[in-house]
Structure formats: C-alpha cells, structure tokens
Chain A
Amino acid sequence: MNLLSQVARAPLSAKFGLLIIVLYIAVAVFAPVLAPYGETQVVGEGFAPWSGQFLLGTDNLGRDMFSRLVYGARNTLGIAFLTTTLAFLLGGLSGLVAAIKGGWIDQGLSRVVDVLMAIPQLIFALLILSVVGTNATSLVLVIALLDSTRVFRLSRAVAMTVVVQDFVEAARLRGEGLWWLVTREVLPNAAAPLIAEFGLRFCFVFLFISALSFLGLGIQPPTADWGSMVRDNAVLITFGDISPLLPALAVALITVSVNFVVDWMLHKSSGLKEC
C-alpha cells in the first residue's frame, strides 16, 4: 500500500494533524519569505496594537509579533526536531543493543538510565544548563541525553519481545554480527511503536524547550522563540490583550496535531480493524 492511499483513508483527525504539521514545516522553511520584517528588527513602538502595518502588533521592544512568530516556528521546531532525533539515535540504539546483548551490557546501561531518571527532568536540566551555559548546542545535547533515557526504556522493552523470536535466534546461530541483528532483524520489527513514540517525544521536547525558555534558560534572546515570547509579553495579559497567548496557542496546536497523527499510526501498527 502506498503512502498516499493510506493518508486518503486516514480518519479526519489524522488528516487535520497532517495538514497542520505540513503547514508548520512550510512556515519554518519559508520563514524569510513569509515574515514582513526581520527576526530581531525593531520596527516601531513597544506594544503597538494590531494594525495593517503590524499584523499582530509589536512586542515589548517594538519588534513585529507576526514576524517573530514565523521565525519562532523555525527555531523552536528545528531545535525540537534535532533534539528528538539525537535522543532517538542515542536511546533507541542503546536500547536495542541492551536487549540483544543482555547480561552485563544490559545491566550497565539500564542502571545508568535508572540513575538519570531518578532525578526530576526539569531540575536536572536547569542544573546542567546553569553549569555548562545556555547556548543552543548545550541545550540540544542536554535535553537529548535526558530524553534518550525514556526512549531507551521503550526501545529495550519493544526489542525484548522481538529478540526472543525464533528468527532472531536463527540469525544468531548463523553467526550474524550485532549490527545486522540491530538493523535487519530487530529494528524493522520494532519500528512502529518507536515511530509513534517519536511523535510523542517530539511534543514533550517541544514543550520542555518552551518551558525552559519561559524560565529564561532555553533559547536565548534575541532569537525568536515561542516560550520566551510568552514571557516577554506576559504583561500585556493584564490589559486584556491576547497577543502574548498566540505563541502558546501555536505550541498547543502543533502538539495536538502531532498527537492526532501518532494516535492514527499507533492504531494502524496495533493491527486493530475498524469494523
């Protein structure tokens, strides 16, 4: 079955989710074209109201809200995607290796993960970030490391059910190496739940970065980012203006959309039939 016909038969919620995701990606890619002003360009008075000139008004420093929202998509989405991918490479692969190898390797990796998971994620992240400094690279690496522990547990659990099957034993008896076992025998059979988890994990990372930015330890100004945008303009809420909530709304919308798509994929991979 090809991808298009599958999408055509997807439920409405999943189609909506896919549409929003595609829209976000398009906005992120074509940000310079879509945004009327520069990302950090000061274009007018602070807190200007919505108008023909400034579509969604300006922020506390007089930068165009709409332009910053558009650039924010690029920064927040990009960093979240990069972080999630790293977390999956690290956690996913080590989870598979732990399940296949077992014994001391499994014990060692699992205990390290237990230790990392024992410390509350947000506090741990704040701690490390205040030590190593808050640039984009360290942000990505720290969150990727912390999130990889969750991925490790899932991929190990999924791989465990695959590893005990006879075809894996047959491959082992053939004398296949670890790389073949991971990539050819186990990973293809563990892919569906991992892909679904990727979507969910992406949402968590996304929210986490926004939360860190809101606390001032995430993506640093003047880079546009939805979390810090909420914080910067929070004062406006007192005046009954909803503009500061727009970045929050953007975060909510992508999170819900990704979840719609994930639900659909999980449903498909679980083999449930709609009767």
Chain B
Amino acid sequence: MDTPLLEIRNLQIEGHYEDAWHPLIKGIDLTLQRGEVLGLIGESGAGKSTLGLAAMGYARDGCRITGGSVCFDGIQLLQAKPETLRKLRGLRIAYVAQSAAASFNPAHRLIDQHVETAVINGGISRAQAEREAVELYRVLRLPNPETIGQRYPHQVSGGQLQRVMTAMAMACHPDLIIFDEPTTALDVTTQIEVLAAIRDAVKTFGSAALYISHDLAVVAQMADRIMVLRHGKLVEEADTRSMLSQPQQDYTKSLWAVRSFRTEPKACPTQQVPLLEVRQACASYGHQPVLHDVSMKLYRGQTLAVIGESGSGKSSTARLITGLLPATAGQVMYDGEALPVDFRRRSKEQLRRIQMIYQIPDTALNPRQRIVDIIGRPLTFYLGLKGKALRARVAELLEMIELDPAVFMERQPRELSGGQKQRICIARALAADPQLIICDEVTSALDQLVAEGVLKLLNRIQQQLGVAYLFITHDVATVRAIADEVVVMQRGRVVDQGSRSAIFTPPYQDYTGLLFSSEPEMDPDWLDHLLAKRAAPTV
C-alpha cells in the first residue's frame, strides 16, 4: 500500500472557447490508493468531469493538458504511447458515464458491447466473457441475469442500463473505475438500487474508484474521502465523516447549508373560491392514457407542489392546465369558471393569467432575441406597452429579479449563465402580470446554490405580488422548502395530498414514504440503515 494507484500532480488543463484557450483545471493534486473510493464534488464548470477523464490520460475535444503529471501504477499516462493507453483503458481503468442511454450503441445487443473489450484486449474467449458477464449482472442485481444481455439498450429501463454499464466497466476487473455522475439522470427510488449495486460491486472486486457527483448526499454514501472542487481548484479535502461534520472552508459550508432554506407556511384559505381547480381530469397521448382522475386545488397566493418520479404525470398535469394537452374528461376551473380544454380556444386574458416557467432555461429563451425583446414582448402583446414605457417596465422587472438593467437589457441569452437565464424566464412570466405561474422543474437544471437563489427569489416575489405557484418537481427537498400544499403523483394518479406539515409528518402513505425515504441524506450511514430497514420484514 506504499505506492498509490493513481497519482496526479499539479495537473493543468485548458479549454478552447470564444477563440482563446482558458484554464479549466488550475493545478490539482490527487492521490488514490488501491481499493479506495474518492468522491469529487463541485458545481457544473468546476472541472470534475475533466479531471475524471484526465485520470485516464484523456482530454476531450477542445481541451488540452498543458502541465503536470498523471501516474497510474507507475506508468506516466501523459507521456504514454496511444497503444499503451488503449491497453490500459477498459482493462485496468474503466469509465461509467452519466447517461448510459446515450453511451450505448442502440444497434447492438448489450452482451455484444459488454464482452468487446474483454475479448479484444483481455485475451479471453467469448464464452468465458459471457459467463463472467452473467455473474456480474447477478452481483449488480439485474433481473434475469442470464438473458438480459440479449436485449437491446432501449429494451431495459434507465436504472437497469446504468447497472449494465457498471457491469461492463467491471468486465475486466479494472484497478480503477471512474464514475461520472452515474445516478444523476435517475429517479430517487431507482437511484438507491444503483447506488447499492455499485457499492457492492466495488467492495466485491476491490477496485479503486473516482466518484464524481454534484450531490453531496450521494457522494457521502459512496466515498471514503471527499475532494471539493471549484473553478478548477481544490477547495477542501478530507475523510467523508470529518468533511460532513466539520467542513473548514466557507464555500463548503455554504454547500452544506443549502438544504436548510424554508419558507413560512401559509394557512390555506378554504373558504375562498380556488384560483385553480382541476376536477377529475383525464388525458392521453394518442391511445396511451397518462392522467387518471386527477384533482387538485390551488388558492390565491399559495404554492402547490406536485411531486412524483418521471412518468408520474406531473408534467402532463401542467400541460393539461395550460391547455397544451386537452383533457379527455374532467375540467380545469379558473377562478370558478371552466377554461376551454385547448389553449387555442382560450381568450388572450385567460392566457395572460397563467404563465409558465420551464425546466431548461437554455431552450426556453429564443437565442436570437435580446433580453429587452424577450421580456418586452408579453408587455406589448398583453398590455400594449411601447417605447419608453416599455423599456421602463422591463428595467423594473429586471430589478425585481436582481439583475442590473443597464448591463442585461441589450444582452442575448447566450451571454448569460444558467441561473441568470432562469431569472429572465421568471421576469418574462411576471411581465404578463399573471395570477398563477406554473413552475415545471425550474431548479433541477441548476446547481444547488443557484437553485436556492432562484427559490428565494420566487418566494420573495410571491410575498410582494401574491402570485400563486404550481410547483412541479421530483425533488423532495424543494417541496419541503417551499410548498404550502403538496400533491404526490404516481403513474398518472394522485396518490396522496395534503398540507406540507401533514404530508411530512408520519405515518406516511405507502408511496409517499418510499419516495421520502429514498431521498439521500447527508449521513454516510444512511444507505446502510435504509437497506437494512427495507430488507427487514415489515412488522
């Protein structure tokens, strides 16, 4: 155990954008012992994926390694010949990518992709490679381990695909596996299975691992040691337990504190006519029903959170309310009157009152329009503002979302960061002077700190203007932070609803309990306890 498996010294990587080379990694040291799991944490753009790839001696297109050394088991990777690297990769160093769905070749069976490296580089027979694959599938607890390899990537679920990919990475019993956000694209209940499987497999084969994630709670379950990165530099490094209990740097502390934000719950004014009421609505895509008997109520100035996993129908509910997905049965009532089911039949005034904010701000803003045009259009369209009055109102809205009008008015969306773009989307929604804003996963594409800022902004706007939010999310923490009322959805049905305090107080309804307990906690023993509890027979 004296020589480390992987040793990175003063690594420097530059990326090419805007016609110049910019430093991405600014001198990072990293040491990894055999059998150790090291967690890399940071926001997007912190350089964690770039560092992960560099551990294989690889730099992405448009990136170059400009300095430092990467030493893997005595081999200098940066000076190594391409043949040497090719032999190492797949055999002794393996990589598990974030999106398994995008990383598999959809035209080949899983087993063919699985055994490829082992047969070509590992020098074992195909039959033996397949036997080993089945064994791995069993370790990773995939259903039907003997036959699942015969399927194509689209025939298995996202969580299963991610486990197949992990199995593939382990095919040659590598010394080092790099996990790049392997569970980020998965639902929380699926995430648990993948996390548990990955951890078992790493323990079984004694591989060392670099575990890259933006989610602290996840890394806490997986890693022995954690490194926090920011802007391509190391912020802090410590054992998982001491890192969680005593973070030293301010930045690390702020990351830890993100989850503590809470709004004041507002009392539900049940005597009023609800601002929005969905009554036993059903809807379908073609012949495929997606919503069954969905009912919910939202009162003025309140926040109704709709929570569920992918495929639960929460986004379809939003599309139903906006009229993009016409209801086949049931009604959408707005302020006591029924709205036409198709948005094209709604009046301008009805359209104005319900605005929408989208999940991915990059595609929600027209890249060819300036900010003043984007925010100004609803003002002109609904309220008839022009010229000076228009610019003044846009400036007012920009101030409300805490962006300086003098700086941002004339900019185009691509000159903005993700959080700023989402704020522009909020301003565009506010420009219409709506009573209800539908927020569809508005924080899930953002980093935790930025997301918290957006939540606080939304909360402040609600207090100032009294708008109601229909907040669609898959994140339990967000619901706990801002909801007044909560609706839990599963497979197109409402399975649980109530006020925030009622929903978050045990005893839980079955599915709600499963969802809440699957949300990773900042306790390194959380996964062990949870798995032990779920394995135990229910009393």
Tell which of B179-187, B252-260, B361-369, B397-405 binds the partner: B361-369
The reply on A222 being an interface residue by CB < 8 A is no
Tell me which residues from 346 to 360 in chain B have a Cβ below 8 Å from any Cβ of chain A: 346, 348, 351, 356, 358, 360
A275 to B364, CA, bound (A): 31
CA of A173 to CA of B324, assembled, Å: 8
The digit string for B427-438, where 1 denotes a CB below 8 A from any CB of A, is 010001000000
Would you give the shortest CB distance from B473 to chain A, in whole angstroms? 17
Give the complex CA separation of A129 and B385 in angstroms: 53
Q: In the bound complex, what is the Cα–Cα distance between A176 and B356 (angstroms)?
A: 15
In the assembled complex, the CB of A26 is this many whole angstroms from the nearest CB of chain B, namely: 33
Interface residues on A, range: 10 to 19
User: Which A174-216 residues have a C-beta within 8 angstroms of B?
Assistant: 174-176, 184-185, 188-189
**Cβ–Cβ contact B356 & A170, under 8 A:** yes
Contact in complex: B364, A167 (CB < 8 Å) = yes
Set of chain B residues within 8 Å of A275, measured between Cβ atoms = 16, 62
Query: B377 in the interface, Cβ–Cβ < 8 Å?
Result: yes
B358 touches A176 (CB 8 A): no
Chain A contacts for B360, CB-based, 8 A = 166
Q: Are B16 and A188 in contact (CB under 8 A)?
A: no
B408 is an interface residue with CB less than 8 A from chain A: no
Given contacts A173-B322, A174-B381, A275-B62, is CB(A167)–CB(B363) below 8 Å? yes
Asked if A170 meets B428 with Cβ closer than 8 Å, knowing A189-B366, A275-B62, the reply is yes
A17 to B365, alpha carbons, bound, how many Å? 36
Q: In whole angstroms, how far apart are the Cα atoms of A106 and B100 in the complex?
A: 35
Give the shortest distance, in Å, between A177 (CB) and chain B (any CB). 10
Q: Is the CB of A170 within 8 A of B381?
A: no
CB of A165 within 8 A of chain B?
yes
**Is A167 touching B62 in the complex (CB atoms < 8 A)?**
no
- Given contacts A166-B363, A167-B363, A167-B364, whether A176 and B343 have CB atoms under 8 Å apart is no
Judged by a CB distance under 8 angstroms, whether B378 is at the interface is: yes
- CA distance in complex: A166, B378 (Å): 16
Known A-B contacts A172-B343, A174-B351, A175-B381; the reply to A165 vs B363 at CB < 8 A is yes
Report the separation of the CA atoms of residues A176 and B366 in the bound assembly, to the nearest whole angstrom.
14
Instruction: Report yes or no: A166 in contact with B16, Cβ–Cβ below 8 A.
Output: no
Residues from chain B with a CB closer than 8 A to the CB of A188 are 366, 368-369
A174 touches B367 (CB 8 A): no
For residue B61, which residue of chain A has the nearest CB? A275
Q: How far is the CB of B385 from chain A (nearest CB, A)?
A: 15
Q: Tell whether A273 is near chain B: CB-to-CB under 8 Å.
A: yes
Is A45 interfacial (CB 8 A cutoff)? no
Q: Give the CA-CA distance A174 to B374 in the complex, in Å.
A: 12
CB distance from A165 to the nearest CB of B (A): 5
Instruction: Please name all residues of chain A whose beta carbon is closer than 8 Å to the beta carbon of B323 when the two chains form the complex.
Output: 173
Q: Which residues of A contact B364 (CB under 8 A)?
A: 165-167, 170
Give Cα A71–Cα B433 distance, bound, in whole angstroms. 62
Q: Which residues of A contact B346 (CB under 8 A)?
A: 175
* CB–CB A273/B16 < 8 A: yes
Among residues of B, the one whose C-beta sits closest to the C-beta of A190 is B368
Considering only residues 135-192 of chain A, those with a C-beta below 8 Å from chain B are 165-167, 169-176, 184-185, 188-189
Which single member of A165, A173, A174 contacts B377 (CB below 8 Å)? A174
Please give, as numbers and ranges, the residues of chain A lying within 8 Å of B16 by CB-CB distance: 273, 275
On chain A, the residues within 8 Å of B369 by CB distance are 184, 188
**Which of A171, A189, A273 has a CB less than 8 Å from the CB of B367?**
A189
Chain B residues with Cβ below 8 Å from A170 are 356, 358, 364, 428
Chain B residues, CB < 8 A from A166: 358, 360, 363-364
Query: Which residues of A sit under 8 angstroms from B381, Cβ to Cβ?
Result: 174-176
A174 and B322 contact, CB distance less than 8 A: no
Contact at B366–A174, with CB atoms within 8 Å? no
A175:B348 contact, CB within 8 angstroms: yes
The CB with the most chain B CB atoms within 10 A, among A166, A169, A184, is that of A166
Complex alpha-carbon distance, A173 and B354, angstroms = 9
Chain B residues contacting A165 (CB-CB under 8 Å) are 363-364
Contacts of B356 in A (CB 8 A): 170, 173
Instruction: Find out whether the CB atom of B324 lies under 8 angstroms from the CB atom of A169.
Output: yes
Is there an interface contact between A167 and B365, defined as CB atoms closer than 8 Å? yes
User: Given A166-B358, A175-B348, A273–B365 Cβ distance below 8 Å?
Assistant: no
Which listed residue, B351, B363, B365, B382, touches A173 by the CB 8 Å rule?
A: B351
User: Could you tell me the distance in whole angstroms from the C-beta of A273 to the nearest C-beta in chain B?
Assistant: 6
Chain A residues with CB under 8 Å of B324's CB are 169, 173
The 0/1 profile, CB within 8 Å of B marked 1, for residues 241-272 of chain A is 00000000000000000000000000000000
Q: Tell me the residues in window 421-466 of chain B with beta carbons closer than 8 Å to chain A beta carbons.
A: 428, 432
Complex CA distance for A113 and B367, rounded to whole angstroms? 31
* Interchain CB contact under 8 A, A174 and B358: no
Among residues of A, the one whose C-beta sits closest to the C-beta of B377 is A174
Q: Contact check, A185 vs B366: say whether CB atoms are below 8 A apart.
A: yes
Interfacial chain A residues near B343, Cβ < 8 Å: 172-173
Interface of chain B residues 45 through 92 with chain A (CB within 8 A)? 62
A125 → chain B closest CB, angstroms? 36
Give A269 Cβ to nearest chain B Cβ, in Å.
13
User: Residues of B contacting A174 with CB < 8 Å?
Assistant: 351, 377-378, 381-382, 432
Bound-complex Cα distance A209 to B367 (A)? 38
Which residues of A does B touch, CB under 8 Å? Answer: 165-167, 169-176, 184-185, 188-189, 273, 275
Q: A170-B358, A172-B343, A173-B343 are in contact. List 18 more A-B contacts (CB 8 A).
A: A165-B363, A166-B363, A167-B363, A167-B366, A173-B322, A174-B351, A174-B378, A174-B381, A174-B382, A174-B432, A175-B348, A175-B351, A188-B368, A188-B369, A189-B366, A189-B367, A189-B368, A273-B19
- 18 A-B interface contacts by CB (under 8 A): A166-B364, A167-B363, A167-B364, A167-B365, A167-B366, A170-B356, A170-B428, A173-B356, A174-B351, A174-B377, A175-B348, A175-B351, A188-B368, A188-B369, A189-B366, A273-B19, A273-B62, A275-B62
The 10 A-B pairs with the shortest beta carbon distances in the complex, nearest first, are A188-B368, A166-B364, A166-B358, A167-B366, A165-B363, A175-B351, A166-B363, A175-B348, A167-B364, A275-B16
